[in-house]
A and B are shown apart, each in its own frame.
Chain A
Amino acid sequence: GQSLEQPSEVTAVEGAIVQINCTYQTSGFYGLSWYQQHDGGAPTFLSYNALDGLEETGRFSSFLSRSDSYGYLLLQELQMKDSASYFCAVRAYSSASKIIFGSGTRLSIRP
């Protein structure tokens, strides 16, 4: 089976940098994705790591290490609008059509 573990809550200061970790147990997957979801809103795609290493998209970067069963999302120059829940997710080899989400990390930004 597959499971993804994330911290339930993280608090950071506006303008700072924060890292949200994701550790997983899965028998095999195509890549690690990250989604953002504001309260009452829909999940929106942020980034995808098919291979080990760092992917950068503006203020957001995502990292994957398959050997360590570990990934993270790095948010820089935090803004108040970044307050949201962040989910890591995988597509398993056994079923590429569905996304398996972690339980999510609620990020709160303080002024």
Chain B
Amino acid sequence: DTGVSQDPRHKITKRGQNVTFRCDPISEHNRLYWYRQTLGQGPEFLTYFQNEAQLEKSRLLSDRFSAERPKGSFSTLEIQRTEQGDSAMYLCASSSQGIPSTDTQYFGPGTRLTVL
């Protein structure tokens, strides 16, 4: 078990550029989540996949954000036309089969995005 991995760990970009982050969940986990965390705050839910299906999206996820999980394994989160307000830590988490209300989510180390 190598845990949840995310790439890159850090990304610095200029306003207006597009960025893409990757998350590799724990291999046997079928559920994958994206969260955003700003300094001094708890993680905020962005979106949720079960296998390849995106089942829930937060209203925080504007049209500039899109997430995919094409084969039900790794996932990508793309932000188009980045804004300074997008600067945050983007966390990925995964969990396995079980009742969604009780399963334990395992978090990756996150991708820290800085938009200049």
Taking a contact as CB atoms under 8 Å apart, the answer to whether A104 and B56 are in contact is: no
Residues of chain B from 30 to 65 with CB closer than 8 A to chain A in the complex: 31, 33, 40-45, 48, 50, 55-56, 58
Q: How many residues of B contact A (CB 8 A)?
A: 26
Q: How many angstroms from the CA of A48 to the CA of B56 in the assembled complex?
A: 23
Q: How many angstroms from the CA of A65 to the CA of B50 in the assembled complex?
A: 32
Taking a contact as CB atoms under 8 Å apart, the answer to whether B105 and A45 are in contact is: yes
Q: How many residues of A contact B (CB 8 A)?
A: 23
Taking a contact as CB atoms under 8 Å apart, the answer to whether B56 and A31 are in contact is: no
Chain A-chain B contacts (Cβ-Cβ < 8 Å), number: 58
Q: Which residues of B contact A48 (CB under 8 A)?
A: 102, 104
Is B110 part of the binding interface, using a Cβ–Cβ cutoff of 8 Å? Answer: yes
Q: Which residues of A contact B104 (CB under 8 A)?
A: 45, 48
Taking a contact as CB atoms under 8 Å apart, the answer to whether A31 and B42 are in contact is: no
Given contacts A30-B102, A31-B102, A96-B101, contact A42 B107 (CB under 8 A): yes
Given contacts A87-B42, A98-B33, contact A42 B110 (CB under 8 A): yes
A selection of 18 A-B contacts at a CB cut-off of 8 Å is A31-B101, A31-B102, A42-B109, A43-B43, A45-B105, A45-B106, A48-B104, A87-B42, A87-B43, A91-B100, A98-B33, A98-B45, A98-B48, A99-B45, A99-B105, A101-B42, A103-B40, A103-B41
Interface residues, chain B, with chain A CB atoms under 8 Å away: 4, 31, 33, 40-45, 48, 50, 55-56, 58, 91, 99-102, 104-110
Besides A42-B108, A97-B55, 15 new A-B residue pairs in contact (Cβ under 8 A), listed by A number: A42-B109, A48-B102, A87-B43, A91-B100, A91-B101, A97-B31, A97-B33, A97-B56, A97-B100, A98-B33, A98-B45, A98-B56, A98-B58, A99-B33, A100-B45
Q: Which 6 A-B pairs have the closest CB atoms?
A: A101-B42, A30-B101, A98-B45, A42-B107, A96-B101, A96-B100
